[in-house]
Amino acid sequence: MVSIHLPLTAEGTEQSNGLWPLALDGRRHSINHKQYAIGHKRGVGEGDTSLPRHECGVFGVYAPEQDVARLTFFGLFALQHRGQESAGIAVANGEEICVHKQMGLVSQIFDERILFRLRGHIAIGHTRYSTTGSSVIRNAQPILLGNETCCLALAHNGNLINTVQLRTRLERLGMRFTATSDSEIIAHLVHRELAFGASVEEALAATVDKIVGAYSLVLLTERELIGVRDPYGLHPLCLGQLDQEGYVIASETCALNVVGAQFVREIEPGEVVIVDEDGWHSYRVTSSPCNAMCIFEFIYFARPDSYIFGKSLHLCRQHMGEQLAVEYPVEAEVVIPVPDTGIPAAIGYAKASRIPFSEGLIKSRYIHRTFIQPDQRQREMGVRLKLTPLREVLAGRRVVMVDDSIVRGTTTGQIVRLLRDAGAREVHVRICCPPIKYPCFYGIDMATRQELIASSKTVEEIREHIGADSLGYLSARGLAKAIGVSSRNFCWACFKGRYPIPIPRHLKIEKFALEKGGPIPSTGARARHAGTGTPSPPEC
Ligand code: SF4
């Protein structure tokens, strides 16, 4: 457990790298990250690395007179599907910013006692799946920075592609980093500008000018809640209004619903929304070259009860199934989903093909909520830990199995075997997207190109590899049609290899680029702050 109080008007306190890690009792202590890292391992069910992984969920609320920490807790709860490695909440009360973050699930991290201590009128929260930087407590968010002139907390969904260059330049300027994530770099860039006397607007403009990649951000200062979306709009971010006075910014609309906020609108690519005592206002911080929403938000990531571009994710996925039935019809007795994300598409396939829909695989819903790791024998059981076939539904039948995607092919092959072992006569696999051939650099943790089965195998070879009787991938055209939004609004890079934000050749971003780039400064590392004596910070 990490609880950090950050006095906004700290005096005479030794500072470490712009951070003020003070314990609740005011005694200075160094945070022993190790003790927190031990507890974290991916849950049993998450040992399956064959699925694309989420990149993070962010939530922020500005609501005087309300229990903002509690609202944020429930907001994060609704966004848990976007990241299960760590979570945190930062709260500002006008005098101090307090953050609590820990490895694990939202429900494991917060209790009444902790929420009671997080008092204030502005809060931000974060659920993390690591993209840049490993899964350890020092990379948990929100990130908190402060000195005698200003403080801020930041939570980030996405992935920068110029992380290493930025960090190198900042380190040359004397900055020390406690984490290995790109998010800490963004926080430092904003904080640095504020510390040199820039307004929030100026600080954000200078930061956005330097960072390249995917970012949906929520930040809080002592007075404002801020939302920022990258110029391409790779990941969603929306604004909602609470019934009583107050506003919410969240990754997905499902997090608005859970706290009783009404959807106001999506935050546009390249837009900043600032909420303060006068309400909210917004402006374009940078121009948007094109819209490039990650298509996987529609296929898999966002919750089915969320809306993006005004479209119900559940209905879009159902239409994907209908379209699959048109593109790849087959004679069969039953259509089953791979739970949970395959469910709406399987319903759609069944509806369009008039083949009965049924559950055929029962998912162990709580498997990911344990920190107990499977032993080697259990690991070899693979998907059996997570999915149980229903012999009554499958035995002797020709089965259509609908899933969202195939990444490495390992899991799909295991599931096909599971169905055959349960007596399925034929297994026809239908996938809601085209073959994934290229890796993602924008915050979705899929695999390297070599690991992507479709990068080196034809559809027929993949069918053979997974042991299916037939295999059908939804076409890109069919996918766009199912969503009902022009294909020009999306990033299709992992299918087509055309990246909307060019990936520098020399910069083959790796997940652990910063760890490999050099030694990580210890948490106890000291660095002099750049100071406030000069009118503007040196260029970085
Ligand atoms: S490359 Fe693929 S996973 Fe990454 S943002 Fe683009 S569509 Fe999404």
Residues 142 and 180 in one domain: yes
Q: Let me know if residue 520 belongs to a domain.
A: no
Residues 228 and 359 in one domain: no
Amino acid at 32: N
Q: What percent of the chain has pLDDT over 90?
A: 67
Task: Indicate which residue's Cα is closest to atom 2 of ligand 1.
Answer: 494
157 contacts 81 by C-beta, under 8 angstroms:
no
According to the model, what pLDDT value does residue 503 have?
Answer: 85
The Cα-based distances of 322 to 279, 315, 469 in angstroms read 43, 10, 20
Residues 202 and 323 in one domain: no
522 contacts 17 by C-beta, under 8 angstroms:
no
Reduce the DSSP state of residue 449 to 3 states and report it: helix
Residues 268 and 329 in one domain: no
The Cα-based distances of 169 to 147, 162, 166, 443, 497 in angstroms read 21, 11, 5, 22, 30
Between 516 and 164, the more confident residue is: 164
Q: Let me know if residue 371 belongs to a domain.
A: no
By most ligand atoms within 8 Å of CB, the mutation choice from 51, 290, 294 for ligand 1 is: 294
Q: Let me know if residue 528 belongs to a domain.
A: no
Distance 491 CA to ligand 1 centre (A): 6
Residues 274 and 312 in one domain: no
Residues 393 and 454 in one domain: yes
Query: From the centroid of its chain, how far is CA 260?
Result: 22
Between 181 and 329, the more confident residue is: 329
Residues 166 and 279 in one domain: yes
Residues 335 and 235 in one domain: no
User: Rounded CA gap, 467 and 36, in Å?
Assistant: 42
Q: Let me know if residue 338 belongs to a domain.
A: yes
| Nearest to 14, CA basis, from 524, 522, 521 | 524
127 contacts 82 by C-beta, under 8 angstroms:
yes
Task: Indicate which residue's Cα is closest to atom 5 of ligand 1.
Answer: 294
Between 25 and 300, the more confident residue is: 300
Q: Let me know if residue 370 belongs to a domain.
A: no
Reduce the DSSP state of residue 110 to 3 states and report it: coil
pLDDT band at 94 (very low <50, low <70, confident <90, very high): confident
Q: Let me know if residue 506 belongs to a domain.
A: no
Residues 147 and 211 in one domain: yes
Task: Indicate which residue's Cα is closest to atom 4 of ligand 1.
Answer: 440
Pocket of ligand 1, beta carbon within 6 A: 234, 294-296, 440, 442, 444, 491, 493-494
Residue 515: burial class (beta carbons within 10 Å; 0-12, 13-18, 19+)? middle
pLDDT digits (tens, 9 = 90+) for 385-423: 889 999 999 999 999 999 999 999 989 999 999 999 999
Q: Let me know if residue 438 belongs to a domain.
A: yes
For 485, the domain range is 308-364+377-496
Q: Let me know if residue 51 belongs to a domain.
A: yes
| CATH code (residue 60) | 3.60.20.10
Extract the tokens encoding 106: 């939202």
pLDDT digits (tens, 9 = 90+) for 112-161: 999 999 999 999 999 988 666 666 788 899 999 988 889 999 999 999 99
Ligand 1 atom with least separation from CA of 490: 7
Distance 300 CA to ligand 1 centre (A): 12
Distance 453 CA to ligand 1 centre (A): 16
Residues 340 and 234 in one domain: no
Ligand 1 atom with least separation from CA of 234: 5
Reduce the DSSP state of residue 299 to 3 states and report it: helix
| Helices 200-210/182-195 angle, 10° precision | 140
Say how many domains are in the chain.
2
Extract the tokens encoding 517: 């780039």
Distance 55 CA to ligand 1 centre (A): 11
Domain boundary pick from 475, 496, 517:
496
Distance 440 CA to ligand 1 centre (A): 5
Domain boundary pick from 477, 496, 515:
496
Residues 175 and 237 in one domain: yes
Over residues 89-115, mean pLDDT: 94
Domain boundary pick from 264, 292, 320:
292
pLDDT digits (tens, 9 = 90+) for 221-267: 999 999 999 999 999 999 999 987 899 999 999 999 999 999 999 99
56 is catalytic: yes
According to the model, what pLDDT value does residue 95 have?
Answer: 86
Residues 71 and 139 in one domain: yes
